[in-house]
Structures are given as structure tokens and as C-alpha cells.
Amino acid sequence: MNWFRYNNFKWSSIALLSLILNFIIIAFFNNSQMQIDSVSVGRPDQVEESQEKSFDIELKQNMTFLLDQLHNQSNVSQLRYPYIKNAYWIVARNGYLIYETGTLSNLGLTQNWQKHFMLGAHIGSRNPKVFETKSLTLVQQPISYEEFLKQQFKLRSLQIGFHNVAYCYAKKNRYSILVLFNSNPREWAIPKIKKVSINYPTVSSDLNIILLCLIVILILILLHKTVVGFWIKRKFARQYALFYFSLLLLLAAFLVIQISSIIKVKEFNVAQNLMMQFKQNLGNVESRYSKYRENLEALLVSRLKGEVKNNRLFNELGVEVCNVTEEELFKKDFKDDTDLAQLMCRLYGRQVYTQKHNSNQLVKWSFGDTKKEIIWINASELSKQINVALLSTKAIHNSYFKTIKNTLPQGWFIAKTSQHYKSDELYFNVHLSSNIFDFDVVYSISKKIAFSEIRQFELNIYIIIFVVFLLAIPSWYFMSLSMTEPIDKILKGLSNVKQRKWDTLEITSKNEFGKVMRDFNNMVQTLREKSKLSSFVAEQILELLSNEKGELINQIEDNAAVVFSDIRSFTSISESHDSEEVVDMLNKYFEIWQSAVQKRGGVIERFIGDAIVIIFFERFSKQYAQDAVQCSMDVMSQMSSFNEQRFQSKQFTVKNGVGISQGKVRFSVIGNDVKKHLFASGQAVIESERLESLSKKGKKSMIIVDENVFKTTRYEFDYQVIENNLFSSNIYELELDQSII
């Protein structure tokens, strides 16, 4: 099959349409990228700010609890101070130091600054100048006592040399507490993200654009230059199909691009939320670390008291135990005693013993580069022996890290950065720096699990799009039928009209096609009526009897000039000559009139034997009276040559007269469906015939006109008055050059 014969679309048209669609697709890509850029994908700084505020609140609660305990006369050394990284606690009563705990790095402060600052803060209410002087030992800048009071229970940043530290002061009645952080908690209170295995969403892929544009071009060619697109019946329907499927294709491209951008944004939002959840989880893990240490301290105390004999946790932590007495630096009573524990007891046993209070808390202790934590208790109230447990901070962290793995939500994984973690291609990984662990941690979750809802959403959307586009094909088919069926009917009707069959169409729709079919039926009805009149009525009169819609009307009225002419003594001619000669003469005579009338725009209303009635309508020409006179002149000028030819052929000659009247003429169609007649009435019709009868008195042109024609054409033609007794007004004869007649 030669598919070029369909010729429904040129290659240039397909190329131009493809170019337009591809430009629009590129615009979709750019617009989609702009939408991605404008999407708010989360504000981590806001989350961190809220977490910082929660840290301030928690710190205030801890300090308030400690002040209440001191106010209730609790032993300051037996209070449980919350474990906060790099925190150094100072307690004073009436401005005098009574207790200090925690680690404090060398900040380059003046000697005994704690005593000066706490005393100045206490007596500042009585003497603000003393406070301003003594506060310089810590804050190292002038600060008023009123401003200092406003800062109570608030964490304040402080720069001391190269150290960015922070402090918080609180006072209640006689007691006051100052907590100093060796590094600003705002730098480490929130787990910091070091690496995230997700990129910022984007759809600006040149390869995707090129592939999509090529697919568009290929589909257009398949639809419109191969047999695939020729199942559409009508050529115009195929052309309409071009735009239909092109729009569907464009819509598909738009949906694919938009869905792609939406999916990427959703994935990024999910990743952001997971990142915040990971940070929050690690923050919660760190906040629960102090509780873990309390439980660990309770176990260690039970172990040192001998209440717990064997404990798997002790083996995992590698707890080392010894005891110290006043007489001996250490005493080897515990099976867990090791060389390191003996060394610690030998070096620091006396210092531990001289504390003379029951700690029951893990305290950081450093042996060179080795970081250990120790806890000691009095063996009994009567005994002067102190039992000591020693374990490494790293062991505590490792043990706690194992416990938190079992508390993670389903699908989450956690690992040390030093360990092997999941692949970035299959898992979403977030590297976080911890405030309590001496290693960074990695949270992971399978992308299949993390994006499961998004994948289901994407699948549902694409299924819906696929179903919609499948339904678009039959919908177009029925749409094509709804267009081609009425057009087929109209084409068949036109074919019938061509064969002069006046069959109307069955109207089955109320849309524009239905309107066209109704107009077609009206046209056929009009043509049917005209066909019945066309056998005996001039075409010009049929046009005159048609309204603006082409429908025939039964009656009209218009200004007109009526020309009436007949042959003199026609009865005698008919009796004295053969009928064939008479008919031949009439045919040639009427041909002269037909030619002149057609030239001047008149209408031959009817023939009456040898007479002819011609009407010049105002609606056809504003100079209708002049056209009537000129038409009569044309005929009279040809009569001399007509008679001369007949004389030379030895045929009888004829003479005729013309009467012209101007006025209102009414046309009416009378009769039935079998036979109809056109009836012209009006004073002008009657007077034109009477004027023709007076043409016998004419001496010049034999063309007689009434007063109305004379007034209308007197500047174009010359006239001579004719005496008469039949008309109330004057009548006139047209003067012509005798050579013309």
C-alpha cells in the first residue's frame, strides 16, 4: 500500500509541530526545576534552635532541683549532679564555696576566681560595685548587677582567650550554683550532620529531555506517516487527531515531568525528615545517657558491696576493682583486681581515701593518655576501708551503643563510622557527630522502606495515567464517529441535491452539526420550492422572492420601472403568414430583448404572446429608471437592422412600441403545488401597457414614458410632450436621432 497517497500531513508540518512540542517540553523541565527550587524543604536551623531551647530548659530544671535539695539541707556532696559533657559545677553558701565537681580545663583565669565570683554574686545585691569588680575574674568585661540578675538560669556564651565557653548562674536564698562548660553547649548539644547520602532534587537532565523529545517525534511520525494513523476515516478527522494526540502527548510529557519533580521533592522531604529524626533520636540517646550511667553506678555500688557476684555487663565493661585502707594503699580482696587497678590504688589511693565521703558516682580520671572512670564507696559505716571500681570511658560508650541498637525503630540501622555501613545506592545514610561517644555514628535506613509510600504513590499515579490514556483511544474513536457520521449524512445530502433529489436529513444531534443539518434541510426545502417555480418564473424573480436566509416568500413590494412592449398588428401578421415564420420571428425578436435586458440588469417578468413585460427593480440598481429607458433605446436601435435583414431575406418586417411607467410594484405567488403563477400588480404595470398603446402617436422613438420617469431621467435624455386624454398627468416621448431608428 502506498501510504503517501493519504497525504494527510507534510513532513514540514510534523517537523514544525515536533519543534513546538519539544520547546514546550523543555519549558516544562525548566518550570519543574523552578518549582523544586521554590519548595520549602525544611529548616534544620529551626529544629536546632528548638533543641537548644530544650537544653536550656532542662539545665534550668536541673539547677532548680539542686537548689531545692540544698534548701532542704541535703548533704551537698551526696547530691546527684546531672552528667553533662564538659560541665564543672560550683556550689556556694552565702557566697562561700562548699563544693566543686567536674572537669575544668586551663582557661587562663585568675587564681581562686571561683571564690571571688561566687562571693561577688552573693553580696552584689548590697554592693553592686563589688560584684562588678569580682565578676571580671570570670566574664572579663564590665557587667551590671541588674543585667546579671536578668540572666539567671540562662545559658550565656563567653569568650575567654581562644576558648568559647558558657556559664549559667542560679541563686535561691543562701545557696547559689554556677555551672561552667569548657566548650559552648550550643556547639555540641545538638548532634551535627557530617555527611548525608542524598543530593538536592533536580530534574534538569539533558539526556531525559533529548529522549523525551525523540519519543515525541517518533510518535507523531507513527501516527501521521504510517498506517497506524490511517484507521481514522475522514481526512479532516485525521488532521484533528493530530492535535488531539499531540495534546495528549504533551499532557503526558507534562505529567511525567511534574510527577518526576514531585517524587524528587517528596524523596528529599522524606530524607530531610529522616535526617531530623536521626538527629532527634541521637539527641534522645544522649539525653538518656545520664540515666544509663545512674543505673551503671547502682550496679557498680552493688558489686562493690558484694551484693552482685557475677554480672555479664561487668565482663563486657572490663571493670577493675581494688580497695584502699588508711593503713595500706590498697588491699587485694576482689577477684577482679588487675595490675592497672593496683597501680591506680598505689598512685591515687591515698587521694581517694582522703575524700572522706561516699561518692557513689562515676568520676573521670586520667592516667596519662588512658581515660578511665572510677567509683568508690565506704565498705561499711564502721570500716575505714574504701572499695574502688575502675573502668574505661570507651567501654561504657561501647556498652551503651549496643543497648541503643535494640531500641531503634523498625528498619533503622546504626553503626560506628569505623565499621562497615550500608551502601549509599541502596540505603539512606546520615553521618552524625556525637556529644557523648568518642566516635561518630551512622544512621541508615533502606531506601525501599523509606520511600515505600512514595513508590506506591508513584505507581498509582502512573497506573491512572496509563488507564486514562488507554481510555483516550476509544474516546477519540467515538468522538470521531460523532463527527464523521453527521458529515457523511451531509455529504450524501449534497450528492442528492446535485442529482436534484430534495431529501431532507434526519437530525440526531443538538450540537453545531445539528444546526448545520437544520440549515441544510431549510436550504433543501427552499430549493424544492424554487424548483417548482423555476419552470415558469425567471431566476431573477426567484432571487427577488428569497429572503436573507434564502427562503421563498409569497409576496414582495418594491419600487420599479415597468417596460411594456408589443408588436403592431400582430394579429394580422399571424393570419397572413405561416406559423413557423411567425414563431421564428418572435424568437429572434425576443432574443434582442433578452440581450438588452440582461445587459441593463432588468427582469423579464413574462411573455404574453407578442408582448413582453420587463421590470427594473430599485433593489438591483438605484438608477433603475435610467436602465429601463436605456434598455428600450438599445432594442429600438437594433430594430432597424433587424427589419433590414428580414427585408433582404424577403421576410415580413415588424414594428413595435414601448411604454415605461415608474412606481410601486407588488409580486405575489399564486396557485398550488401542481401549478403556480407569479402575479405582478400595481399602477405602474397597468400604466405601462396603456402608455405602449399610445406609442402609435409617437413621431420620434415610439418610446412613451410617464411623468415619474420623465422627472427621474430628464437630465439624461431628451423628451417631447404628447397630448393625451387618458392620463391626468403629462406623458412624454423619448427623442432619438433618426439615424438610430
Distance CA 37, CA 510 (A): 49
Distance CA 555, CA 545 (A): 7
With CA atoms as reference, report the closest residue to 200 among 38, 44, 36, 48: 36
Mean per-residue pLDDT, 332-343: 56
pLDDT at 226: 64
pLDDT(676) > 70: no
Which residues, at least 6 apart from 450, have a Cβ–Cβ distance to it below 8 Å? 270, 271, 274, 411, 428
pLDDT at 165: 84
Of residues 213 and 373, which shows the higher confidence score?
373
Mean per-residue pLDDT, 724-728: 72
Give the range with max mean pLDDT: 48-52, 186-190, 626-630: 626-630
Q: Quick one: cell of 54? A: 530544650
pLDDT at 247: 72
pLDDT(171) > 70: yes
DSSP code of residue 511: S
User: Residue 713 corresponds to which amino acid?
Assistant: T
pLDDT digits (tens, 9 = 90+) for 630-667: 999 999 999 889 999 988 988 999 999 999 999 999 87
Determine which of 38-42, 379-383, 647-651 has the lowest per-residue pLDDT on average: 38-42
Indicate the pLDDT class of residue 328, thresholds 50, 70 and 90: low
pLDDT at 223: 62
Of residues 307 and 659, which shows the higher confidence score?
659
pLDDT at 39: 56
Of residues 8 and 323, which shows the higher confidence score?
323
Three-state DSSP class for residue 26: helix
**8 A C-beta contact, residue 730 and residue 707:** yes
HEC secondary structure over 667-733: EEEEECCCCEEEEEECHHHHHHHHHHHHHHHCCCCCEEECHHHHHHHCCCCCEEEECCCCCCCCEEE
Round the average pLDDT of the chain to a whole number and report it: 77
Which residues, at least 6 apart from 688, have a Cβ–Cβ distance to it below 8 Å? 562, 563, 564, 613, 659, 660, 661
Of residues 321 and 426, which shows the higher confidence score?
426
pLDDT at 125: 84
Of residues 163 and 228, which shows the higher confidence score?
163
pLDDT(497) > 60: yes
User: Residue 132 corresponds to which amino acid?
Assistant: E
**8 A C-beta contact, residue 180 and residue 165:** yes
Q: In degrees, to the nearest 5, what angle opens at C-alpha 407 toward C-alphas 405 and 411?
A: 75
pLDDT at 40: 47
pLDDT(456) > 50: yes
pLDDT at 47: 40
HEC secondary structure over 287-338: HCHHHHHHHHHHHHHHHHCCCCCCCHHHHHHCCEEEEECCCCCCECCCCCCC
**Hunting for cell 589511693 — which residue is that?**
349
Which residues, at least 6 apart from 512, have a Cβ–Cβ distance to it below 8 Å? none
pLDDT(357) > 60: no
Give the range with max mean pLDDT: 460-474, 650-664, 667-681: 650-664
Of residues 240 and 694, which shows the higher confidence score?
694
pLDDT at 329: 53
User: Residue 205 corresponds to which amino acid?
Assistant: S
CA-only gyration radius of the chain, Å: 59
Q: In degrees, to the nearest 5, what angle opens at C-alpha 101 toward C-alphas 97 and 104?
A: 100
pLDDT at 4: 37
Determine which of 336-345, 595-604, 638-647 has the lowest per-residue pLDDT on average: 336-345
